[in-house]
Amino acid sequence: MSSYQAIPYWALEKACEAIGRKVRNYDQMGEDNPLRWSIEQHALTIAKYEASPFLSAGKFHLGNTVLKTRGSQWRGGIVGFYSTSLTPIGYAVESATEKGSVQIYPEAALEAWEVE
């Protein structure tokens, strides 16, 4: 791991899992490997958001897959969070079919989606 960043092991495991890698593969990567850097950045983001008191009340976490329950359809993974005066807990959801396309929804509009 980079000496300047303290990354919790649980976050590193989640980051590796999200891209289909094993932690042992990460441990074998050289310090200058761009994939190692990417995994570390993802792990730091996971650690930051999952440790947030705002999220402890939420149903979903980074990487969870969800679907929109009413109106137009949207399925994908949680990639971010938001909070407003009208929406105390909301999520940014990246589409499972259109990579890079993101929509935001309040927690009440989403339910867990088990990817087959």
Q: Which residues are catalytic?
A: 68, 103-105
29 vs 22, 25, 94, CA distance in Å? 11, 7, 28
Rounded to whole angstroms, the Cα distance separating 43 from 7 reads 7
CA distances for 115 relative to 40, 42, 91, 94, angstroms: 26, 21, 18, 14
- Quote the Cα angle for 4-9-13, to 5°: 120
